[in-house]
Each structure stands twice: as C-alpha cells, then as structure tokens.
Chains A and B, each alone.
Chain A
Amino acid sequence: QVQLVQSGAEVKKPGASVKVSCKASGYSFIDYGITWVRQAPGQGLEWMGWISNFSGKTNYGQKFQGRATMTTDKYTSTAYMELKNLTSDDAAVYYCARFGVIPPREDYWGQGTLVAVSS
C-alpha cells in the first residue's frame, strides 16, 4: 500500500532552517512527484511547490522561491523540503503528498510534520 511517512516535529529559532523528510513506499517513486503543502494553525492549506522524482525539476510557489528548496533521493525514495530563514509566520504543519502530473492530482498524503518557530 502507498505510504508517505514524514519526519518528526521540529522546534526552530527565528532565522534558522528546517528540513522535513518524506519517505515513500508502496509504489514506483520515480513515476510520481511530491507536492509540499503547509497549514498554519487555524488556517487553510497553502501550496508550496512540487518536485519531479524522475528529473528533480521543481516548481515553487512565488512566496517560497528563494527560501524553500525541494530535493529528492531516488535511491531511498525520500523527498526533502528545506525552508530557510524561518520566522514566526512559518510555524505550521507541513505535508507532503504524492503528485501525479498528468492529470495533476495529489492523492496520498503524509501525516504532517509540525514545525514550531520560537526564540
């Protein structure tokens, strides 16, 4: 069965970076991409971007360009999302989801990773 298992909760100081992992299993990793989505407390879902696990090509939301870096490791079927220069506005639950490109769809989701930002 398809599973996406994310890394555990993180507490970071303002200005620091966080790197969240998403380990996939149960399907051919390179046949799909990974989308990253975040959700601030009490707020809606926010699309951050996606990465092709085949080519490593990325597409970032405008808000995250230059500050988020999405990478993928085909050999361990793991995707990563690093966010730099954290502020309190980055405190959120971060989700990864399997992304089928044609047609575009996020079907299976990780359990989410809570990132807290506090001095």
Chain B
Amino acid sequence: QTVVTQEPSLTVSPGGTVTLTCASSTGAVTSGYFPNWFQQKPGQAPRALIYSTSNRHSWTPARFSGSLLGGKAALTLSGVQAEDEAEYYCLLSYGGARVFGGGTKLTVL
C-alpha cells in the first residue's frame, strides 16, 4: 500500500512565502512520478494548479510554483494572499495508478 504524505497543516502570513511538500513511501519523488498539485476550497471541486512537477496550467497564478526538493515534490506559494487559504493536495503517478496525498490545510493569518 503506497502512502503519499503531506504536512497536515501550515500557517503563513499574508505576503509571505510557504512551501508544501509531498513525500512517497516508496522513496524519493522524481519527475517520473509526474507530481500534480490541486487546491480545494470548502464546498468546491478541486482546482488544478501544477502538473508534471513544475508546469502551471493557463489559469494558475505565477505565485504558485512546483519543484522537487530533498526527495519530495514541493509547491511554493510566494506573496501569499488571503484567497490562498485552502486545502492543497498532491497527486503522484505509480505506473498506471495514481495516489493522492492526505492534503495540507493552509491557513493565511
């Protein structure tokens, strides 16, 4: 049973920078896991932010960036805004199967 682990919660000040990470129980996350990141606000469907480690969708603000960091996938938010308060999920590929992380609740305070 593959487990993908994210920080349960993080807090950031408006205008600040925060990095969320995504680890795999199978070992280091590489580009071959094609990390995707999603944002979800209460009562809404998830919204895609990043695919294939670092590629933004056309609607993704430039303050969201994806990378690999220390064997994990990472999502960095720079210049955080109040509207960025949400749950964030990563999704990794394992061959044909995909597994979500447990999510990170980001509080902007």
Contact B47 A109 (CB under 8 A): yes
Report Cα–Cα, A70/B25, bound state, in Å: 28
Q: Complex Cα distance A111/B47, Å? A: 11
Contact of A47 among B45, B55, B99 (CB under 8 A): B99
Determine the residue in chain B with the shortest Cβ distance to A45: B100
Contact status B46-A109, CB under 8 Å: yes
Residues of A within 8 A of B48 (CB): 105-109
A101 to chain B, nearest CB (A): 10
- Nearest chain A residue, comparing its CB with the CB of B90: A45
| Number of residue pairs spanning A and B whose beta carbons lie under 8 angstroms apart | 63
A: contact size bracket: 20 to 34
Q: How large is the interface on B (under 10, 10 to 19, 20 to 34, 35 or more residues)?
A: 20 to 34
Distance of A51 from chain B, by nearest CB (Å)? 12
In the complex where A45-B89, A109-B46 touch, is A103 in contact with B97 (Cβ < 8 A)? no
Q: Is the interface of A mostly helix, strand, loop or mixed?
A: strand
25 contacts across the A-B interface (CB closer than 8 A): A44-B89, A44-B102, A45-B38, A45-B89, A45-B100, A47-B97, A47-B99, A47-B100, A59-B96, A61-B97, A61-B98, A62-B1, A97-B46, A103-B51, A104-B34, A104-B51, A104-B93, A105-B51, A105-B52, A106-B91, A107-B48, A108-B48, A109-B45, A109-B46, A109-B48
Told that A37-B46, A45-B91 touch, could you supply 10 new A-B pairs with CB distance under 8 A?
A44-B101, A47-B97, A61-B98, A62-B97, A103-B55, A104-B93, A104-B98, A105-B36, A106-B91, A107-B51
